[in-house]
Amino acid sequence: MDDITRDPTTIRAEDVNPRYNWGRHLPALGTMGVDFEERVDYRRMHRYRLGRAQAALEASDLGALLLFDDNNIRYVTSTKIGEWARDKLSRWVLLTRGGDPILWDFGSAAVHHRLYSPWLKPENCKAGLVGLRGTVDPAFGLMKHHAEEMASILKSAGVAKMPVGVDIIEPPMMFELQKAGLKVKDGQQTMLEAREVKSADEIALLNRAAAMVDGAYHLINEELKPGIRENDMVARVNEFLYRHGSDDVEAINAISGERCNPHPHNFTDRMVRPGDQVFFDILHSFVGYRTCYYRTFNVGRATPSQRDAYKKCREWLDLAIDLIKPGVTTDEVCSVWPKAQDFGFPDELSAFGLQFGHGLGLNLHERPIISRVVSMDHPTVIKEGMVFALETYCPASDGYSAARIEEEVVVTDKGHTVISLFPAEELPIAARY
């Protein structure tokens, strides 16, 4: 059967092969579909992601996965409704061993998916409602109805006696599943195992998302000046990203002057002044795939203390990047970073997220997690096809300035490649006098 007539849900060997041709430069492709070159193949990506989820399920002791996490739903079904739905627990999918995903959706979205998502079986696109995080009282019986419905499906699939793995869930819904005779276990670990190695299509989308942030930092470099406020810069970057195709600007941290130390992880209406050290983190997604990408600037001039902080921050980051290749463990990466007490924090939990690494994908934080809090005692192996961010932080000796730099890396067959390309080897000076 050729690609034109083949069932789009069929999983092929080449769809679940994670290897990328590392001899080619990573593409930063346009968003428009064309007939004259191969760009992202979304149906191939769907088959890859579903195949990875099915393989992880087969390797577990679970009979099925019940997924309410918006990222897991997208990974398994390649469907997405408004970003507003992310925290409502209003959609869910059931994936049984060897079965096709069954999606319960928010009202008319189910009808829409029957029409426009032919990779899903129409009968598996259902409307459902369990409670919108408690706003529909569990006593009304919707949770009971759907729990019994899913128990019946699991019985028909022959897996009702096996545990069902759940990622996130409202407690009353979990109780109803248990009343329906189902044993509930953690399914999030199974899904994270499925998602940790990216396909060529996923890597292309992550690279495109990073390319958009490259452009956003050029905008910041041009417009960062005395008198502009942190929230002004946040607004301009939001406009730039959405205009260039972002589907969700998750957050933009903008931290300046005395707010740099300790790092508050937010933005305010503080006005930027000459000599300020300023750092930004841009978190957005392109077709669902995320960025986490810090850069630090000084406004007009920089003191020796600020330059020294930047230099140390860069050195710590480069030491970590240089280690990245398949087979390296996360404790090895952490070992080149300073301990919390060495840069002014009482313990590793207080410094969590400052010398840090985390996977990138449909979620901001995927595997691997690289931190002294967990990695020294529980190391994990870095694998080809992983994509993650490495970020370092160094407070300045003046007591209030600080530098923050982050690079996104793809693990190749022999090493790594960096996809965050706005120059950061030396401290950038915006509005130079």
Q: What is the pLDDT along the chain (433 residues), one digit of tens a residue?
A: 344 334 545 555 555 555 678 888 888 878 788 889 888 999 999 999 999 999 999 999 999 999 999 999 999 999 999 999 999 999 999 999 999 999 999 999 999 999 999 999 999 999 999 999 999 999 999 999 999 999 999 999 999 999 999 999 999 999 999 999 999 999 999 999 999 999 999 999 999 999 999 999 999 999 999 999 999 999 999 999 999 999 999 999 999 999 999 999 999 999 999 999 999 999 999 999 999 999 999 999 999 999 999 999 999 999 999 999 999 999 999 999 999 999 999 999 999 999 999 999 999 999 999 999 999 999 999 999 999 999 999 999 999 999 999 999 999 999 999 999 999 999 999 998 7
Report pTM: 0.95
Pairing of strands 184-186, 164-166: parallel
Run of H or E including 279: strand 277-286
Write phi, then psi, for 359 (nearest 5 degrees): -65, 155
Per-residue confidence (pLDDT) for residue 11, from 0 to 100 = 57
Pick the CATH number of 41-194 from 3.40.50.720, 3.40.350.10, 3.30.2040.10, 3.30.1360.70: 3.40.350.10
Say if residues 270 and 232 touch (Cβ distance below 8 Å).
Answer: no
CA 209/CA 364 separation, integer angstroms: 12
Question: Mapping DSSP to helix (H, G, I), strand (E, B) and coil, where does residue 236 land?
Answer: helix
User: In one letter, which amino acid is 74?
Assistant: R
Which of the listed CATH numbers 3.90.230.10, 1.10.1670.40, 3.40.50.450, 1.10.1040.20 matches domain 200-430?
3.90.230.10
Question: What is the spatial distance between Cα 412 and Cα 124, in angstroms, rounded to a whole number?
Answer: 37
Pairing, β 387-395 against β 356-359? antiparallel
Q: Is the dihedral of CA 309, 310, 311, 314 positive or negative?
A: positive
Which strand (E) or helix (H) includes residue 356? strand 356-359
Question: At 417, which helix (H) or strand (E)?
Answer: strand 416-418
Give the containing element (helix H, strand E) for 252: strand 248-256
pLDDT of residue 7: 54
Domains of the chain: which residue ranges? 41-194, 200-430
The confidence score (pLDDT) of residue 4 equals 36
Burial (Cβ within 10 Å: 0-12, 13-18, ≥19) of residue 139: exposed
